[in-house]
Amino acid sequence: MTSRSQARLGRSVLLHLFLTPLALVWLFPLWMMVVFSTMPDNGIFSPGIELLPHDNFLDNVANLQRDTNFIGAIGISVAVAVTYTVLSVLLTSMAGWALARYEFHGKGAVVAIIFGTITLPYAVVLIPQFIMVARDFALANTWIALIVPPLFNSLGVLFMRQAFSMMPAELFDAARVEGVKEWRIFLFVALPLARPMLAALAIILFLASWNNYLWPLLINSQPGAMTAPVALGTLIGLTKVSWGGIMAGAVMLTVPMLIVFVLLQRHFIAGIAAGAVK
Amino acid sequence: MRTQNATAYRFLTPYLLVFAVFWIWPIVSSFLISFQATRTVPWRFAPTFNWGRLIGDPAFYNALKNTLLILVIQVPVMISLAIVMAVLLNSPLLKARGLYRFAFFAPVVVGEVAYSAVFRLMFSLDFGIVNKLLESVGLAKIDWFSNVTPAMALIMIAVTWRWAGYNAILILAGLQSIPEDVYEAATLDRVSKLKQFLYITLPLLKPVIVFCAVLSIIGTMQLFTEPFLITERGGPGGGTETLGLLLYRQGFRSLNFGYASAVAYTMAGLAIAITLVQLWLTREPK
């Protein structure tokens, strides 16, 4: 073996010796979430160290359901996240298409306002949004309150604008020469070409809605209208509550997303990385 | 080129409507509300009512201090860790890359409530796995929830765990956009790996790193769920209360919208300042 490849091997071993413990530490909370969700409460609150799953998961789900209607809340969360994703993808890709493909009066101003407000903290709009939706529109504890206000997201518009402006103009001009209407060009030429970007955007939006906590906590605080994270959050800090149940809820919120993440990792990472590439 | 006003606005209108109603108008409105006394009916214009109170409010300074303390410690630690993760994940020597990527990126999909619950349980005084492990190697257990310093540390640990991988994804994308031949040339000139990292990689990554830092600062500045759920409403005794939590407490517990809007605009002011610093740091050299 040459000294060069020996040095390479040495570096490779060092790399893995450093990265493996770090990776294990990083996985540990997720692993413990799964372990806790399978343990009875008297096992969680016992002095021994338990690192392997037990078989109490279904009992914990039942305990959780006794503490709060979690299955119902999951149903609301799924319906809201799906509706939100479809609407938001549609709205932001239409706006992105207009900004990428047409010349019109006020275009510069629209782009400047979207860019200019992108780093403003969400906290700034929270109170007026709440007053408007809860008091003026009287829509607290409805699905509309959960779906419509978060539709304003700006990153999606900028992402889709980027996607559409990278497509060659000839594609669309050819259709125009044939006399195809603009909305048909958008629906049947542009959107199919943008499929990978749409997938990335949809995943990120779905995840954002699924995990959203602060807005649903404020606006849908009635038991029957809560989303799953809000319902789970109400249990944290209570005394007579099953922690095994809370962990089972955490697993039900997290594991489906982890599976989606593993299956669609490429789109996921593209969607997140798009934030940085302007 | 002929303008296409009508077509363009047909595509834009639905989005612009939502954007104007739920984003632009609230930005203006919350500024106006911060100058009103909102605990009387009807609200009345009182320019110094909330801002005057803010300037003299120990709870505000406590929240500001806690928020800045978390910012100053947590963001640099997390960004450094994210750079290390990204650079090592990008190494051609790495085997089983997918497993490592999963380990570091998985927290990105975990919701705030779910991970807050897990961290609360893992760090509990008598039955938490962290204290059990500390004791099993002969160290004293730590009371993470009753003392301010460990409670703050816990918040920082939790946020770092959740967000380091997110930043690593952004930095990794930046790394992969650096052309390979830059390194080949440097290797031919016998420039060491460390020097290549310091003098090629880091400068080229600067815009991405600054972007990550700004995103993280603005995110951490609004920190709410972790001190709300993990340290139980900013406990012990307000020791981990952040600006986000103060806004929640004032706006939605005491229903003092005017004062809460003043707190919100303080956060916005900080965010604008930080964005300006970012623009200045990443300006095009003349």
User: Which uninterrupted H or E stretch holds A17?
Assistant: helix A3-37
Q: Please provide the average confidence, as pLDDT, over all residues in chain A.
A: 91
Q: Residue B1 — pLDDT band, cuts 50, 70, 90?
A: very low
- B268 and A152 within 8 Å at the Cβ level: the answer is no
Phi then psi dihedrals of residue B170, to 5 deg: -65, -45
Helix, strand, or coil (residue A212): coil
Counting residues of chain A whose pLDDT is more than 90, the rounded percentage is 68
Is position A272 within any domain? Answer: no
Write out the residue range of the structural domain in which residue A120 sits.
68-235
- A33 and B8 within 8 Å at the Cβ level: the answer is no
Is position A60 within any domain? Answer: no
CB burial string B84-118: b at 16+ within 10 A, e below: bbbbbbbeeebeeeeebbbbbbbbbbbbbbbbbbb
- A126 and B166 within 8 Å at the Cβ level: the answer is no
Is position A85 within any domain? Answer: yes
Tally of domains in chain A: 1
- B116 and A236 within 8 Å at the Cβ level: the answer is yes
| For testing contact with chain A, the best of B3, B4, B13, B15 (most A CBs within 10 A) | B15
Residue B92 is predicted with a pLDDT of 87
| For testing contact with chain B, the best of A8, A51, A94, A126 (most B CBs within 10 A) | A126
How many residues belong to chain B? 286
Asked if B255 is an interface residue toward chain A (Cβ–Cβ < 8 A), one would say no
Residue B285 is predicted with a pLDDT of 66
Residue A31 is predicted with a pLDDT of 96
| For testing contact with chain B, the best of A42, A60, A125, A267 (most B CBs within 10 A) | A125
More confident site: B42 or B113: B113
Contacts of A32 in chain B (CB under 8 A): 118, 121-122, 129
Mean pLDDT of A118-139: 91
Domain ranges of chain B: 57-281
Q: How far is CA A223 from the centre of its chain?
A: 23
Residue A206 is predicted with a pLDDT of 93
Please report the residues numbered 236 through 265 in chain A whose beta carbons come closer than 8 angstroms to any beta carbon of chain B: 236-237, 243, 246-247, 249-251, 253-254, 257-258, 260-262, 265
- A121 and B268 within 8 Å at the Cβ level: the answer is yes
| For testing contact with chain A, the best of B1, B18, B97, B252 (most A CBs within 10 A) | B18
B47-85 confidence digits (pLDDT tens): 888 999 999 999 999 999 999 999 999 999 999 999 999
**Residue A105 above 50 pLDDT?**
yes
Q: Please provide the average confidence, as pLDDT, over all residues in chain B.
A: 91
- A19 and B88 within 8 Å at the Cβ level: the answer is yes
Distance from C-alpha of A105 to C-alpha of A31, rounded to nearest angstrom: 55
> Which of A4-18, B162-176, B250-264 shows the lowest mean pLDDT across its residues?
A4-18
Q: Any residues with CB less than 8 A from the CB of B170 and at least 6 apart, and which? A: A272, A273, A275, A276, B82, B208, B211, B212
Mean pLDDT of A172-192: 91
More confident site: B125 or B82: B82
**Residue B23 above 80 pLDDT?**
yes
Residue A275 is predicted with a pLDDT of 60
Distance from C-alpha of B188 to C-alpha of A248, rounded to nearest angstrom: 55
Contacts of B29 in chain A (CB under 8 A): 128, 131
Residue A277 is predicted with a pLDDT of 43
HEC secondary structure over chain B: CCCCHHHHHHHHHHHHHHHHHHHHHHHHHHHHHCCEECCCCCCEECCCHHHHHHHCCHHHHHHHHHHHHHHHHHHHHHHHHHHHHHHHHCCCCCCCHHHHHHHHHHHHHCCHHHHHHHHHHHCCCCCCHHHHHHHHCCCCCCCCCCCHHHHHHHHHHHHHHHHHHHHHHHHHHHHHCCCHHHHHHHHHCCCCHHHHHHHHHHHHHHHHHHHHHHHHHHHHHCCCHHHHHHCCCCCCCCCCCCHHHHHHHHHHHCCCHHHHHHHHHHHHHHHHHHHHHHHHHCCCCC
Nearest Cα of chain A lies from the Cα of B58 at a distance, in angstroms, of: 21
Predicted complex ipTM: 0.90
A236-253 confidence digits (pLDDT tens): 988 788 999 999 999 999
**Residue B157 above 90 pLDDT?**
yes
Q: Residue A278 — pLDDT band, cuts 50, 70, 90?
A: very low
Asked if B45 is an interface residue toward chain A (Cβ–Cβ < 8 A), one would say no
- B118 and A29 within 8 Å at the Cβ level: the answer is yes
- B114 and A33 within 8 Å at the Cβ level: the answer is yes
Counting residues of chain A whose pLDDT is more than 70, the rounded percentage is 98
Q: What is the CATH number of the domain that holds A201?
A: 1.10.3720.10
B268-278 confidence digits (pLDDT tens): 999 889 888 88
Out of 3.40.50.1700, 1.25.40.80, 1.10.3720.10, 2.60.120.10, select the CATH number for domain B57-281.
1.10.3720.10
Mean pLDDT of A9-26: 92
**Residue A274 above 80 pLDDT?**
no
Q: Residue A270 — pLDDT band, cuts 50, 70, 90?
A: confident
Contacts of A218 in chain B (CB under 8 A): 252
Task: Indicate the residue of A102, A246, A247 with minimum beta-carbon distance to B7.
Answer: A102
Contacts of B25 in chain A (CB under 8 A): 128
- B211 and A276 within 8 Å at the Cβ level: the answer is yes
Residue B120 is predicted with a pLDDT of 93
Contacts of A121 in chain B (CB under 8 A): 218, 221-222, 264, 267-268, 271
Residue A276 is predicted with a pLDDT of 47
User: Which region, left, alpha or beta, applies to residue B141 given φ > 0 means left and ψ of -120 to 50 means alpha?
Assistant: beta
Q: Residue A267 — pLDDT band, cuts 50, 70, 90?
A: confident
Task: Indicate the residue of B93, B104, B114 with minimum beta-carbon distance to A253.
Answer: B114
Mean pLDDT of A98-114: 91
Q: Which of A44-53, B160-169, B197-206, B270-279 has the highest mean pLDDT?
A: B160-169
**Residue B162 above 80 pLDDT?**
yes
Mean pLDDT of B102-125: 93
Query: pTM of the full predicted structure?
Result: 0.92
